[in-house]
Amino acid sequence: MPQRIKHILFLEPKSSHLHVYSDAYIPRIGCLVLATIMRNLGYGVRVMLEEVEDIDTNEFGEADLICISSLTSTAPGSYQYADFIRNVYPDKTIVMGGTHPTFVPDEALQHCDFVVRGEGEEALVELVRCLESGADYRGIANLSWVEDGQAVHNPERPKAEDLDVLPIPDFTLVPRGKMDIMSIQTQRGCPWDCSFCTVTKLNGHKLRGHSVERVLDMLEAYTKIPDFNYLFFADDIFNVPVDRTMAIMQGMIDRRLVIPWAAQMRHEISKQPALMKKMREAGCDRVMVGFESIDETALELYGKKETAHDVERAIDAIHGHGIDLHAMFIAGADSDHPETIKTQFEFAKKKDLATSQCMILTYLPGSEDTIRYDLQGGEYLSHDWSHYDGHHANHPVPNMTRYELVNTVMEGMKGMYAPHRILYKLGSAAYNALKFNKREATRQLRNGLLRLNGYSILQRWFKEHKEYLADLRAENVSLAPDRYKRVLLAVSNVDVSRVLHTFLDEMNIRVEEYSEEKLSALKDSDLVVMAGEMVDDVRARFQNLHIFPVHDKNTRMDRTLTQLGILFTENVDKVREAIAAVHFQPAQGKTATAGLTN
């Protein structure tokens, strides 16, 4: 039956807990892009971003279609709004999208009519047209819905290659005075594949971008918006490819679009001095780099393809070009313990990072870490999605309790934003002002105020989480690193199987060849190390297996061996020695090698 759709409301709920960006909102642009598309097609639209305005639920009644965008940490709020709409306005059609509904659509469909998975610009337009005309929507790619009590998930469409077909996001759709930071996304995708991240699962590995001219046109449109004073490039990796980034910088200079801005980058920026120089000329005052750790084993586990030396070199190079750095770290890798986390904070202080954050490793739906943990039968000690924000520990970890992990991280953050570190920056600002060095005085004042803001957030966080920390202290649970005693090996690739056998022998782990007859007698202390292509079939036929998937097709598998070894011992040196032994094992008259990374 055709539906009347004249007015569409786009809602983006906020997290219910304090987080690192609580007082410095950097807008996501998904809702704004979709709203601009629908507005340009002639629909009335309203964008409600809870981070910058109170939500007036009376406005829900004015919309014919309500689209809710959700992260994992904002899922509880998203579901609450959706349930409210269903109860109060049962005639309204609710569509959900964003990272969380994309990876757990069955869950989201308990609260809405449709889920648009992944990139939704085409799917939403097609869905609205089908609803208006009464046409069959069951052929729309990326769409999920419930039919006859069963969730139906259509395949995803190919990723859009030409982003220039998308309109410039219209920030005037947000009430004036509510937001002074504008986000611009010049490309989607990421060629790397960090284990904790969902970007490649959502947007793919291939970089797909706007043309340089279109990026500059967007920037020019942004500069005409009242109250705009800062720009954030929302690309996951802005400094790749270098030639394109250089062209954007030069275009900003040529078209007199030099404004203060920040962007996310990787450590390779340290090898691109010409780019850093051009960035500085184009107004860059801050880069945000996800270093994640300075511990080599943790970097290997995360799949970062970088070393601690790369981290230090990048920091020095960025500082050397007069650009401030917001460094992002993670704590909670299987190799971490309180001392490695404390060492990380001391390193950050020594490097005089303008600002930094340390998030607790969180197994988000869709990430490689989460998939592997689930296959191993991992236990979640919290199913409250609002805790999946990087400031809570939701699963047991080796080497420390959840309380030790959370308290060490948050106390370390307090040290980064301690009063004397705030005063140091404010004093530097005053000194440079007296020297009539306006640019440096402004820079140091900004850093001092950012540190003051960080101090304020942390004080409030500890007050808000007093009961949470007390509960964690009483829990006193950690993950035993020696919980597995035997491996059943199911890998048909001869070379990969040989490497695994050698490694496990060096680790003194009992290994047996896999057979389905043995599965009926498995214990909780048994781990099935299995080729990735076998996993789905075996999981469908046998329940409660602890599986470690192996996706390697050759012997370049140091990362896999590190992930496997850390399940059996907290002794990282033992794991490294076992990997080294694999490197020098003769195979078929030659020297076998596990390579650098998989």
Domain ranges across the chain: 7-153, 180-472, 486-591
Whole-model pTM: value is 0.91
- Token pair of 168, please? 């410039």
Distance CA 93, CA 526 (A): 48
* Residues 362-414: tens digit of each pLDDT: 999 999 999 999 998 888 999 999 999 999 999 998 889 999 999 999 999 99
- Collapsing DSSP states into helix, strand and coil, what is residue 24? coil
**Interatomic CA distance for residues 474 and 471, integer angstroms:** 5
List all residues 6 or more positions away from 543 whose beta carbon is below 8 Å from its beta carbon.
none
Provide the H-helix boundaries in 208-337: 212-223, 242-254, 273-281, 296-302, 308-320
Which CATH superfamily does the domain covering 180-472 fall into? tm_1862 like domain (3.80.30.20)
- Judge whether 157 and 125 are in contact, CB under 8 Å: no
d(CA 235, CA 72): 20
CB of 117 within 8 A of CB of 106?
A: no
Amino acid letter, residue 478 = S
pLDDT tens digits, the chain, 598 residues: what are they?
Answer: 899 999 999 999 998 887 776 666 777 899 999 999 999 999 999 999 998 889 999 999 999 999 999 999 999 999 999 999 999 999 999 999 999 999 999 999 999 999 999 999 999 999 999 999 999 999 999 999 999 999 999 999 999 999 999 999 998 898 766 667 889 999 999 999 899 999 999 999 999 999 999 999 999 999 888 878 889 999 999 999 999 999 999 999 999 999 999 999 999 999 999 999 999 999 999 999 999 999 999 999 999 999 999 999 999 999 999 999 999 999 999 999 999 999 999 999 999 999 999 999 999 999 999 999 999 888 899 999 999 999 999 999 888 999 999 999 999 999 999 999 999 999 999 999 999 999 899 999 999 999 999 999 999 999 999 999 999 999 876 666 667 889 999 999 999 999 999 999 999 999 999 998 888 788 888 999 999 999 999 988 888 889 999 988 877 789 899 999 988 888 889 999 999 998 866 544 443 334 433 4
Number of CB atoms found within 10 A of residue 392's CB: 21
Sorted by sequence, the CB contacts under 8 Å of residue 107 that are 6+ apart come out as 101
Distances (CA, A) of 3 to 58, 93, 123: 21, 9, 17
Q: Tokens 């996001």, residue?
A: 169
| Nearest-10 crossing angle of helices 466-475, 402-416 | 140
| C-alpha–C-alpha distance, residues 82 and 110, integer Å | 10
| Residues 428, 446: Cα–Cα separation, whole Å | 11
DSSP H or E run through 447: helix 438-464
The token pair at 205 is 């590995």
Q: Element (H or E) spanning 526, and its range?
A: strand 526-531
Look at residues 583, 578, 581 and name the one whose alpha carbon lies nearest to residue 595: 583
CATH superfamily of 7-153: Cobalamin-binding domain (3.40.50.280)
SS3 384: coil
- Do 180-472 and 486-591 agree at the fold level? no
Residues 6+ away with beta carbon under 8 Å from 531 = 490, 491, 492, 493, 496, 549, 550, 551
Q: Which CATH number fits domain 486-591: 1.10.10, 2.30.30, 1.10.1740, 3.40.50?
A: 3.40.50
Residue 531, strand partner residues = 550
Q: Residues 28, 183: contact at Cβ < 8 Å? A: yes
